[in-house]
């Protein structure tokens, strides 16, 4: 642990950072909310910019278009903007066809998340998956219940569903006054005032405020809706816990805001919550040699950070890759020399990128919480740590158990060496997960189907291998650890047909169904079945 006091300027800059992602099910309103947040931050002037990109993404599945859209999705991978003296980094979580393991991994690089729930639909499948990933690090969650301008479900019903399904306590901060055509605004439970909503009118900074729940003005303006609101608030006071910052920071309680993203209503409250409540960059645990595990403090002067995402071939003309790198301590400056810990050598960091709204710009300066994009030709892998000399490896950047599987078969059997090499490299890069079965068959695992498309195309372009991916009858994968060698050998003998090895040679159980996994786990209580695995280079 360093004993140097934190440099005051660095400490001040770190405290001003907020790094977060939006988690939601497709169509809940993530793109719309992103756009409104950027508008508030002045990062984009034109409404519709983010939206237009999204439509371009959906227009076609032709490969060149996929390349193009991936280029586009890179520029929106990280959006940095200023708000009230704070620097906010919004990390994109690709959610439609481009849903992939990256979507999960992005969540390992944020300090908070905003969960968008469609108030007509409630908690949906992808939200559950993404929240479970946030839970691995107890990431604080702010909840935005969206689309109150539509006929939606009862707010109490929605909160009960969030609490029941997601196992997180809800502390409502705003509460709707009416809904659908009769949506009149929200009551701020902490400020004890109503913020009024006028359909079609975008509330930018100062909407109309009516103070006090028993204010007679509310009775005259909203005679049909105010009674219900007063009843609800009484119920909330009795039934819902008040907002507790500590519980929010521990990931146990989520403040809930109601609004309508498309009408820009409730968006500013989300930004305010990010600034007032969401944490600045947090200390991170890392293995070091020779000292063992330690917490890296964000305002430590020495630069450290890790790669959480690799984007390849963004521009077909330049076969480069961008490693997305989260700074965990110190300060980035262009031209600095850093240690690539896994490779055991030094490299120069120059011309790192950040992505201001939709342009690439050269990053001049960055501190903990900021994301930089580092050009490289395959030297950097997911999970790699760079430091200013220290032999250190950050933990908590996992591989996630794939949800989709394909068996790889070659059209030209003479190319099997190239296939092996290609899959090994693409697997190491994190584009796809690769398992080898008994007998040498290669199995691919992904979280989203686009991953298979990209890998097929990259095998063709970069390795000149024409491979066919066939459906494989596998439900999920679990990494295995054994208490002793005897158990391992017995397990291997009995389960040979369901065993494989991952890219680093770790044993993996490939379950044919959930039932199969449950039965096997029950039969082998001493064997541990892990749904994630750390990237390789963790030290200590
Ligand atoms: P996503 O990124 O989570 O997939 O969602 P997105 O923002 O694209 O929103 C999905 C749809 O929901 C869009 O409609 C969007 O306009 C609509 N929407 C978002 N927020 C609100 C809201 O507060 N109220 C209402 N009524 N609708 C909302 P679409 O028909 O798919 O697109 P568009 O034709 O409106 O652009």
**pLDDT of the residue at 153:** 97
pLDDT band of 439, cuts 50, 70, 90 = confident
Cβ-based neighbours of 375, under 8 Å, separated by 6 or more: 320, 321, 322, 351, 353
| 254 close to ligand 1 (CB < 6 Angstrom) | no
Average pLDDT over residues 370-393: 92
Predicted confidence band of residue 25 (pLDDT cuts 50, 70, 90): very high
What pLDDT score does 536 carry? 61
How much distance in Å is there from the Cα of 225 to the middle of ligand 1?
26
Assess whether the C-beta atom of 172 lies below 6 angstroms from ligand 1: no
478 pLDDT above the threshold of 70? yes
| Ligand 1 touching residue 47 (CB < 6 A) | no
Q: Is 196 in the pocket of ligand 1 (CB under 6 A)?
A: no
User: Residue 202: pLDDT band by 50, 70, 90 thresholds?
Assistant: low
Residue 71 has a pLDDT of 43
Kindly give the distance from the C-alpha atom of residue 96 to the centroid of ligand 1, in angstroms, as a whole number.
13
Least confident of 427-441, 503-517, 525-539: 525-539
Q: Is the CB of 433 under 6 A from ligand 1?
A: no
237 burial type by CB count under 10 A (0-12 exposed, 13-18 middle, 19+ buried) = exposed
- Structural domains in the chain, CATH included, are 19-77+92-276 (3.40.50.300), 284-397 (3.40.50.300), 399-534 (3.30.70.3280)
Q: Among 37-46, 63-72, 179-188, 261-270, name the one with the lowest average pLDDT.
A: 63-72
Instruction: Give mean pLDDT, residues 312-326.
Output: 74
Q: Whose CA is nearest to atom 25 of ligand 1?
A: 147
d(CA 47, CA 262): 11
Share of the chain above pLDDT 70, in %: 87
pLDDT tens for 162-175 read 999 999 999 999 99
Q: How confident is the model at residue 206 (pLDDT cuts 50, 70, 90)?
A: low
Ligand 1 neighbourhood includes 121 CB (under 6 angstroms) = no
Please indicate whether residue 124, judged by its CB atom, sits closer than 6 Å to ligand 1: no
- Residue whose pair of structure tokens reads 């809706």 in the numeric block: 225
Distance between Cα 118 and ligand 1 center (Å): 10
Q: Share the mean pLDDT of the chain.
A: 88
Residue 517 in contact with residue 537, Cβ under 8 Å? no
**Concatenated DSSP letters for 408-451?**
EEESSGGGHHHHHHHHHHHHHHTSSEEEEETTS-EEEEESSHHH
Q: Is 390 in the pocket of ligand 1 (CB under 6 A)?
A: no
What is the spatial distance between Cα 200 and Cα 57, in angstroms, rounded to a whole number? 27
Evaluate if pTM is beyond 0.85.
yes
Average pLDDT (181-198) is 94
pLDDT surpassing 70 at residue 4:
no
Task: Return the pLDDT at 434.
Answer: 95
Ligand 1 atom having least distance to the Cα of 24: 3
Per-residue pLDDT of 240-258, as tens digits, reads: 899 999 999 999 999 999 9
CB of 98 closer than 8 Å to CB of 451: no
**Is the confidence at residue 187, as pLDDT, over 90?**
yes
Confidence category of residue 52, pLDDT binned at 50, 70, 90: low
Mutate which of 27, 79, 92, 97 to test ligand 1's pocket (most atoms within 8 Å of Cβ)? 27
Higher pLDDT, 460 or 256: 256
Residue 73: its pLDDT value, please?
A: 45
The CB of 24 under 6 Å from ligand 1? The reply is yes
- Long-range interactions of 59-62: CB distance < 8 A, separation 24+: 61/97
């Amino acid at each position: 642990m360093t004993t140097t006091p934190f440099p005051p300027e660095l400490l001040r800059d770190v405290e001003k950072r907020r790094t977060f992602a939006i988690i939601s099910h497709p169509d809940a309103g993530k793109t719309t909310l992103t756009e409104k947040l950027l508008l508030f931050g002045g990062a984009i002037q034109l409404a519709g910019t983010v939206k237009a990109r999204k439509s371009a993404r959906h227009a076609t599945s032709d490969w060149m278009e996929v390349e193009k859209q991936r280029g586009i999705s890179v520029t929106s991978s990280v959006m940095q903007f200023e708000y009230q003296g704070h620097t906010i980094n919004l990390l994109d979580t690709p959610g439609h066809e481009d849903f992939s393991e990256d979507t999960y991994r992005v969540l390992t690089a944020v300090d908070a998340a905003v969960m968008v729930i469609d108030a007509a639909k409630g908690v949906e499948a992808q939200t559950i998956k993404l929240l479970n990933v946030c839970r691995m690090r107890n990431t604080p969650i702010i909840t935005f219940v969206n689309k109150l301008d539509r006929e939606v479900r009862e707010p109490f019903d929605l909160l009960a569903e969030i609490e029941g399904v997601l196992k997180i306590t809800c502390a409502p901060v705003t509460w709707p006054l009416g809904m659908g055509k009769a949506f009149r605004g929200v009551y701020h439970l902490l400020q004890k005032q109503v913020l009024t909503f006028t359909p079609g009118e975008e509330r930018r900074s100062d909407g109309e405020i009516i103070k006090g729940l028993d204010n007679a003005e509310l009775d005259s303006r909203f005679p049909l809706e105010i009674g219900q609101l007063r009843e609800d608030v009484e119920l909330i006071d009795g039934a819902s816990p008040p907002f507790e910052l500590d519980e929010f920071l521990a990931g146990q309680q989520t403040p809930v805001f109601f609004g309508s993203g498309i009408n820009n209503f409730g968006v500013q409250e989300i930004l305010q919550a990010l600034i007032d409540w969401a944490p600045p960059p947090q200390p991170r645990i890392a293995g070091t040699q020779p000292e063992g595990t330690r917490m890296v403090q964000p305002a430590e002067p020495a630069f450290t950070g890790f790669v959480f995402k690799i984007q390849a071939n963004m521009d077909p003309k330049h076969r480069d890759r961008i490693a997305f790198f989260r700074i965990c301590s110190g300060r980035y400056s262009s031209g600095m020399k850093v240690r690539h810990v896994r490779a055991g050598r030094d490299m120069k960091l120059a011309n790192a990128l950040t992505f201001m709204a939709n342009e690439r710009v050269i990053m001049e300066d960055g501190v903990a919480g900021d994301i930089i994009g580092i050009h490289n030709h395959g030297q950097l892998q997911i999970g790699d740590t760079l430091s200013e000399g220290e032999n250190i490896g950050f933990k908590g950047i996992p591989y996630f158990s794939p949800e989709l599987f394909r068996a790889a078969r070659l059209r030209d059997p003479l190319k099997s060496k190239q296939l092996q090499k290609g899959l090994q490299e693409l697997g190491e890069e994190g584009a796809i997960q690769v398992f080898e079965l008994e007998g040498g068959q290669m199995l691919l695992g992904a979280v989203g189907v686009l991953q298979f498309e990209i890998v097929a195309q990259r095998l063709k372009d970069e390795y000149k291998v024409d491979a066919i991916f066939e459906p494989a009858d596998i439900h999920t994968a679990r990494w295995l650890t054994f208490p002793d060698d005897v158990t391992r050998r017995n397990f291997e003998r009995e389960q040979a047909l369901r065993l494989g090895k991952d890219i680093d040679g770790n044993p993996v159980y490939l379950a044919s169904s959930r039932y199969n996994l449950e039965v096997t786990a029950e039969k082998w209580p001493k064997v541990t079945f892990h749904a994630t695995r750390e990237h390789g280079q963790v030290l200590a």
